[in-house]
């Protein structure tokens, strides 16, 4: 009996083990099939999202502080900034992660996903050590102007060393997807559009320009007919009109008084107060330049961008196109009047309407749900320094020219060599290495000597000396990280200096109005809005950085990141992931 029971128990045990094995194998098979199916569905979803985004529109609002979104919120309409916020994603704690915070490096970094350390655009201008002169970020003598006979069109992105997400999209689509850049400023158009762009257009307004939209032979040999037609129309000239406040000026309670000593008036007008007769003032203020220095420059930019969308048939096929639009007039108005001015408030209220026009045109011509937009800025700006002084916030002006002369005099008296410091630009000093070597002097010793001298100046907070290979050797502190990301070993200067907060170089153009370029929050904190196809609705106070934009757009499209990108995709804004 015991043996029978034992055999029965053993048989039961074997049967149970076989049953369990069969169940586990079945579950494993089902699980694998489910995972495979889920992976396939997920992959299909991402791919579907990437090819159905017909147009990416990258908007840069030049010199836009983040608080312009919140300060003027009650006066914005529902179709511009608020539409992007209410239907899209708002990154409220978005910052530049390098210095200098200038227009050219700002635009380059937004679209390449990297910083001047890698893309090489270390300023609007910088001292070229090989050419031994100052160079402008997009000047290119190897190309010719298209649309005018002068030199204003001799521009290209040849000094930018890395690709943009527009370049990567062109490569991914075998050059079938278009890229077009538009801005009043040449650098605001050329750098975002990248190296493979079909076109970049800018407004010829500098030095009493023609008022035409132009380009260079880097892109084409002749303007398209639609651009010629736009230039021949009366659209641009229609903005030589009165600039008065959009609403009753007494309701502009978010800004200071209209009459004050902190703003710079247009030539030919005694006070910087509304209204401004642009037609009457144009001859004394550079002709078409006065349009760029008013909110109507942004309106003209929207006019041209909408014409480009229609005439270039952007977003009309299965290959994603890229349109970059930089609104430059906000920077021009900010420099002249400052962040606390009624002129800046009015400029943003009018820009809000121009954004609404642009979004409505995208809805009509590309189709609601078929395009994706992001909006950010190339830098922000501090309040006017003399205004800061008036409210007892420490601030001041530093005379860099006097400083350079004093240091050169010191070096001459000690070593008998004149003008060893050949340039001061972007808070950097460039030394004449050839002179130093020819005279058998110790380059590093001179750098150290000048560093100690600089640190003794009032209003200079910190000084950094590069090593013998011009590598930045700062510590791992927050400021040092920003300086390091903005320092290009081959292009940047020998010595870097940092001002106290609310200190600018003393120059005629910024004694009224404002300037920018520092690592402080008033220069680094800018908006970042995502809107449209593939974008979730939401907001975050999580810190994001300007170099995160290009990887995010690349991830949305399913394409390679720009080759020098150091940012991270913002997965939480994408509905595809």
Catalytic machinery residues: 103
Q: How far apart are CA 181 and CA 174, in angstroms?
A: 19
Taking alpha carbons only, the member of 134, 36, 49, 165 closest to residue 553 is 165
Identify the H or E element spanning 213.
strand 213-216
| 3-state secondary structure string across 459-528 | CEEEEEECCCCCCCCCCCCHHHHHHHHHCCCCCCCCEEEEECCCEEECCHHHCCCCCCCCCCHHHHECCE
Q: How far apart are CA 386 and CA 394, in angstroms?
A: 10
Q: How far apart are CA 126 and CA 422, in angstroms?
A: 12
The pair of structure tokens assigned to 100 is 């200098």
Question: Which of the 8 DSSP states describes residue 382?
Answer: P
Spatial contact of 166 and 554, defined as CB atoms under 8 Å apart: no
Ramachandran angles phi, psi of 163, nearest 5° = -85, 160
Residues 6+ apart with CB under 8 A from 532: 88, 369, 371, 372, 373
What one-character-per-residue DSSP string does 405-420 give?
HHHHHHHHHHHS-S--
Taking alpha carbons only, the member of 149, 534, 547, 133 closest to residue 373 is 534
3-state DSSP: the chain helix, strand, coil percent, rounded to 5? 40, 15, 40
Strands 133-136 and 199-203: unpaired
């Amino acid at each position: 009996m015991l043996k029978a029971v034992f055999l029965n128990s053993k048989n039961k045990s074997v049967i149970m083990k076989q049953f369990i094995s069969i169940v586990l194998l079945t579950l494993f098979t089902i699980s694998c099939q489910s995972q495979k199916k889920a992976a396939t569905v997920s992959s299909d979803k991402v791919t579907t999202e990437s090819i159905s985004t017909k147009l990416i529109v990258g908007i840069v609002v030049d010199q836009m502080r983040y608080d312009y979104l919140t300060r003027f919120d009650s006066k914005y309409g529902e179709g511009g900034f608020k539409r992007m916020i209410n239907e899209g994603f708002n990154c409220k704690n978005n910052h530049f992660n390098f210095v200098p915070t200038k227009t050219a490096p700002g635009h380059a970094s937004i679209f390449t996903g990297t910083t001047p350390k890698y893309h090489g655009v270390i300023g609007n201008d910088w001292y070229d050590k090989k050419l031994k002169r100052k160079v402008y970020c997009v000047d290119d003598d190897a190309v010719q102007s298209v649309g005018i006979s002068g030199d204003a069109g001799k521009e290209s992105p040849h000094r930018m060393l890395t690709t943009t997400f527009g370049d990567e999209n062109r490569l991914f689509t075998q050059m079938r997807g278009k890229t077009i850049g538009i801005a009043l400023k040449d650098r605001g158009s050329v750098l975002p559009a990248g190296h493979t762009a079909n076109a970049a257009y800018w407004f010829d307004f500098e030095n009493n320009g023609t008022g035409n939209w132009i380009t260079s032979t880097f892109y084409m040999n002749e303007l398209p007919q639609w651009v010629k037609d736009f230039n021949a129309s009366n659209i641009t000239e229609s903005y030589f009109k009165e600039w008065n406040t959009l609403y009753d000026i007494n309701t502009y309670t978010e800004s200071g008084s209209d009459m004050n000593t902190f703003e710079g008036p247009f030539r030919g007008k005694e006070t910087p107060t509304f209204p401004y007769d642009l037609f009457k003032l144009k001859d004394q203020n550079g002709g078409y330049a006065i349009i760029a220095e008013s909110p109507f420059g942004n309106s003209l930019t929207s006019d041209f961008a909408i014409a480009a969308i229609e005439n270039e048939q952007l977003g009309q096929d299965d290959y994603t196109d890229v349109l970059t639009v930089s609104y430059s007039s906000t920077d021009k108005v900010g420099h002249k009047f400052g962040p606390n001015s009624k002129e800046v408030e009015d400029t943003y209220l009018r820009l809000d309407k121009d954004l609404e026009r642009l979004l409505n045109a995208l809805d009509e011509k590309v189709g609601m749900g078929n395009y994706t937009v992001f909006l950010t800025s190339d830098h922000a700006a501090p309040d006017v320094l003399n205004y800061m002084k008036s409210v007892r916030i420490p601030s001041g002006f530093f005379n860099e020219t006097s400083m350079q002369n004093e240091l050169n005099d010191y070096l001459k008296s000690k070593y008998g060599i004149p003008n060893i410091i050949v340039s001061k630009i972007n808070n950097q000093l460039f030394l004449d290495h050839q002179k130093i070597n020819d005279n058998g002097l110790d380059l590093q010793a001179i750098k150290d000597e000048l560093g100690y001298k600089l640190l003794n100046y009032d209003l200079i907070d910190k000084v950094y000396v590069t090593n013998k290979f011009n590598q930045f050797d700062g510590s791992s502190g927050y400021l040092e990280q920003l300086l390091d990301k903005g320092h290009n070993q081959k292009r940047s200067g020998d010595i870097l200096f940092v001002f106290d907060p609310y200190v600018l170089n003393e120059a005629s153009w910024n004694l009224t109005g404002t300037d920018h370029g520092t690592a402080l929050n008033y220069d680094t904190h800018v908006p970042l809005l995502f809107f449209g196809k593939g974008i979730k609705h939401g907001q975050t106070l999580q810190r994001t950085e300007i170099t995160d934009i290009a990887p995010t757009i690349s991830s949305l499209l399913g394409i390679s990141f720009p080759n020098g990108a150091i940012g991270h995709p913002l997965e939480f804004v994408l509905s595809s992931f």
